[in-house]
Amino acid sequence: MKLSYNALIISGLIISVSPGCTTMPEAGTTNPFFTEFKTPYNVPPFEKIMARHYMPAFEKGMAEGRKSLEKILAGNEEPTFLNTIEPLDTMGSLLTRVSSVFFSQSQANTNDSLQKIEVEISPVLSEYSDEIGLNPKLFRRIKSVYDNQSKFNLNDEQKYLLENLYKSFIRNGANLNPQDQDSLRALNRELSVLTVKFSQDVLSETNNYRLYVTKDDLKGLPESVVAAAAQAAKESGQEGKWAFSTQRPSMFPFLQYSENRELRKKLYDAYCNRGNNGNEFDNNKILASIVRLRAERARLLGYKTHAHFVLEPRMARVPENVFNLLNSLWGKAIPVAESEVKEMQNIINSEKGKFNLGPSDWWYYAEKLRKQKYDLNDSELRPYFKLENVRDGAFKCANNLFGITFTPVKDIPLPHPEAQAFEVKEADGSHLGVLYMDFHPRESKQQGAWCGTYQSHHVLNGVEISPVVTMVGNFTRPSNGQPSLLSLEEVSTLFHEFGHALDDLFHRNRYNQTYIAWDFVELPSQLMEHWATQPEVLKSYARHYMTNDPIPDMLVYKIKNSSYFNQGFETVEYLAAALLDMNYHTLEAPVNVDVQTFEKDLFRKSGLIPEIVSRYRSTYFLHMAGGYDAGYYSYIWAAVLDNDAFEAFREKGLFDKSTATSYRKNILEKNGTMDPMQMYVNFRGREPVIEPLLRNRGLMQ
Ligand SMILES: [Zn+2]
């Protein structure tokens, strides 16, 4: 996951939380945000920053921004890049500084005061960014610079920035006449109400359903699952029974282990019909309206369809490119899924089950197949993945690839007492940036793992500002005298976030505003994951925490093999959902669909096999209702990129210096300042291809 703040302030993307705003008393001159930090490497002086400093700093930051905006707009001379775009880029420096610290801290070190500020500040920031993003005078100036750009002798970075800035205003409706702007606002309002209702309905449908079972129906279930189900039943007033819900963490263990075929089907059917029960939480009409309104909005803004609107600033650019990818993967994955069906049917037949594998049987027989073919035991692996060894393994990879080093720094402010700080240096010893790592869960921290920046690379008045990056995770804590021993998944997560960190550390952008394409942002992180499980890399860092012995070959082999398990199913199930999303969002206005018919027709035409249901069906496809609309494809888009990019290293050598340098120069240094496909082609010598992904998932037949 990747957090980014500075771009949000200008692009108007901050989501408002709730209305209302209060003003905090002025904190005087001691507010650490009001002066230069004067710390090593200009990191935030965390120990001096109190909750009471944030509000005044936000307010002063916005006031400064407004003053700068007035100055830009007051100029009578012809708008130029120098008198309009550059001051616009630097005008939010205090606001960017306080936002970076505040939002990082409210994710990783929150408390009641910060939570209160977050609720207060979100709508205020959102209003502020609308003030800029919808300012007609500012738009006229930007448009003038954009239309006359050939006069200004702009370099590539400036052209890319201008193009994206201009388009973001257009996409916000800045170019519409007042009447159309009113229609746009009405459409946006209606859409936001409907998408909230859609997700609340899914939540209600999920919460309202429970499958209660008795003791006889627990056969096959692991103890921990039984205990959790007993607790769940007790909580809903049915003590003495066992309850399962359609929430994935409750449902999947049941589908995987329960020996009762009827009940597996009952639970899975309930899951698949959420939002489709003809009751007050039915989402069929709501989704149809969402799709209709999005198509209308796209037309109003001058786009053919909603997908054309969404994809314009992304690497995919147009729906045809997404369809090409999804369809070619589909053709490869279906036969593999069919052969998985055969393998599982063989198990059913050998157990004298007189039935054909159904959709709700998949997890149960896949688990049997996994045990037969790919068994990998978590507790066997963990002793080889001591946190410090894994971290140093990631450092070593970066050192082998790019020559950079990581030196622990003492006497530097830390975002939290548990965090670690490293100075990152180039091979010649010069300073590159600071990397914080904050590994373990605590109450004040959000779940998951992410990477963000306290300071992003840019150039200010000719001086290069170096990045301050933070990697945050929720990795297993040390306990009972045992060090922190990671699961294989946690190892991948650590390498993943480290890949984001390298991206932030290597950026060479001049301006604060960068535009990293949404479907490109996971390339650096997912690429890094590949090194974590390469046999020769594992052999060097995965050492037993007690004996220091390297990981045995048998385990290395099992790790590699496990990446092929159930891939036909996973890919088909995912692609079905991605196709559903793209098909809805490439309908041209006026749109009038019957959701159930649309879905059924689509899957019949595409040849989805009867043993697999789309990972999400229309009436509970939350990604599609908001946030990942015409965007669910991006997971596999990024997977194509990282597999193909890693292939470049496999061809030339895992740590080939010239490939690493090319990757750094062409992608990491340029990310956000150049067209992503062009960056990729400059690195790879051609556009990405799907074969490496197919090979790594065992889908080549
Ligand atoms: Zn990520």
Per-residue pLDDT tens for 641-659?
A: 999 999 999 999 999 999 9
User: How far is C-alpha 684 from the chain's CA centre?
Assistant: 24
Cα-flanking dihedrals φ and ψ of residue 460, to 5°? -120, 120
Q: Considering the chain, what percentage of its residues have pLDDT values greater than 70?
A: 96
Average pLDDT across the chain, whole number: 93
CB 480 within 8 A of CB 444: no
Does residue 20 carry a pLDDT above 80? Answer: no
Distance 522 CA to ligand 1 centre (A): 5
State how far the Cα of 501 lies from the Cα of 453, in Å rounded to an integer. Answer: 9
Distance 499 CA to ligand 1 centre (A): 8
Instruction: Report the amino acid identity of residue 406.
Output: F
- Distances 575 to 43, 273, 603, 612, 633 between C-alpha atoms, Å: 43, 20, 11, 11, 8
Instruction: List, in order, residues 6 or more apart from 630 with CB less than 8 Å away.
Output: 306, 307, 310, 311, 319, 581, 582, 585, 586
Distance 671 CA to ligand 1 centre (A): 15
Q: Is the pLDDT higher at 572 or at 29? A: 572
Buried residues in 438-474 as b, exposed as e (16+ CB within 10 A) = bbbeeeebeeebbbbbbbbbbeeeeeeebbbbbbbbb
**What is the average per-residue pLDDT within 600-629?**
95
Distance 458 CA to ligand 1 centre (A): 22
What is the CB neighbour count within 10 angstroms for residue 553?
Answer: 11
3-state secondary structure of 406: strand
Distance 244 CA to ligand 1 centre (A): 31
CB 544 within 8 A of CB 678: no
CB 376 within 8 A of CB 557: no
- Distances 430 to 404, 406, 421, 426, 427 between C-alpha atoms, Å: 10, 12, 17, 5, 7
Does residue 27 carry a pLDDT above 80? Answer: no
CB 381 within 8 A of CB 487: yes
| Residues marked as catalytic | 497
Distance 448 CA to ligand 1 centre (A): 10
Q: What's the CA angle centered on 640, arms 331 and 670, to 5 degrees?
A: 155
Residue 29 — pLDDT band, cuts 50, 70, 90? low
Distance 537 CA to ligand 1 centre (A): 21
What is the CB neighbour count within 10 angstroms for residue 309?
Answer: 22
**What is the average per-residue pLDDT within 337-346?**
97
Distance 235 CA to ligand 1 centre (A): 35
The DSSP-derived string for 137-201 is HHHHHHHHHHHTGGGGT--HHHHHHHHHHHHHHHHTTTTS-HHHHHHHHHHHHHHHHHHHHHHHH
Does residue 93 carry a pLDDT above 90? Answer: no
State how far the Cα of 499 lies from the Cα of 394, in Å rounded to an integer. Answer: 9
Neighbouring C-alpha atoms within 13 Å toward the C-beta of 166? 18
pLDDT at 6: 39
Torsion sign across C-alpha atoms 18, 19, 20, 23: positive
Distance 327 CA to ligand 1 centre (A): 25
pLDDT at 75: 85
**What is the average per-residue pLDDT within 491-500?**
97
281 Rama class: left (phi>0) / alpha (psi -120 to 50) / beta: alpha
pLDDT at 133: 85
State how far the Cα of 105 lies from the Cα of 61, in Å rounded to an integer. Answer: 18
Residue 379 — pLDDT band, cuts 50, 70, 90? confident
- Quick one: tokens of 161? 């920035």
Segment (H or E) for 497? helix 488-506
**What is the average per-residue pLDDT within 616-623?**
96
State how far the Cα of 535 lies from the Cα of 565, in Å rounded to an integer. Answer: 19
State how far the Cα of 323 lies from the Cα of 329, in Å rounded to an integer. Answer: 10
The DSSP-derived string for 426-450 is -TTS-EEEEEEEE-S--TTS-SS-E
Residue 24 — pLDDT band, cuts 50, 70, 90? very low
Residue 448 — pLDDT band, cuts 50, 70, 90? confident
State how far the Cα of 24 lies from the Cα of 313, in Å rounded to an integer. Answer: 38
pLDDT at 126: 86
pLDDT at 255: 96
Distance 451 CA to ligand 1 centre (A): 8
pLDDT at 1: 58
Per-residue pLDDT tens for 603-612?
A: 999 999 999 9
Q: How many helices (H) and strands (E) does the chain have?
A: 28, 9
3-state secondary structure of 124: helix
Instruction: Report the amino acid identity of residue 411.
Output: D
State how far the Cα of 560 lies from the Cα of 539, in Å rounded to an integer. Answer: 13
Distance 533 CA to ligand 1 centre (A): 18
CB 145 within 8 A of CB 79: yes
The DSSP-derived string for 462-496 is TEEEPPEEEEE------BTTB--B--HHHHHHHHH
Q: Counting every residue, how long is the chain?
A: 701
Distance 268 CA to ligand 1 centre (A): 30
pLDDT at 627: 83
Query: CA-CA-CA-CA torsion for 127, 128, 132, 137, nearest 10 degrees?
Result: 80
- Quick one: tokens of 355? 């039935």
What is the CB neighbour count within 10 angstroms for residue 30?
Answer: 10
pLDDT at 143: 97
Helix, strand, coil percent values for the chain (each to nearest 5): 60, 5, 35
Torsion sign across C-alpha atoms 266, 271, 277, 279: positive
Pinpoint the alpha helices (H) of 273-377: 284-300, 306-311, 319-350, 362-374
**What is the average per-residue pLDDT within 180-194?**
93
State how far the Cα of 206 lies from the Cα of 190, in Å rounded to an integer. Answer: 24
State how far the Cα of 501 lies from the Cα of 524, in Å rounded to an integer. Answer: 9
Instruction: List, in order, residues 6 or more apart from 136 with CB less than 8 Å away.
Output: 174
Helix axes 319-350, 634-652, angle to 10 degrees: 90
Which residues have a beta carbon within 5 Å of ligand 1, which is an ion? 1, 525
Distance 688 CA to ligand 1 centre (A): 20
Does residue 90 carry a pLDDT above 60? Answer: yes
CB 434 within 8 A of CB 467: yes
**What is the average per-residue pLDDT within 690-697?**
96
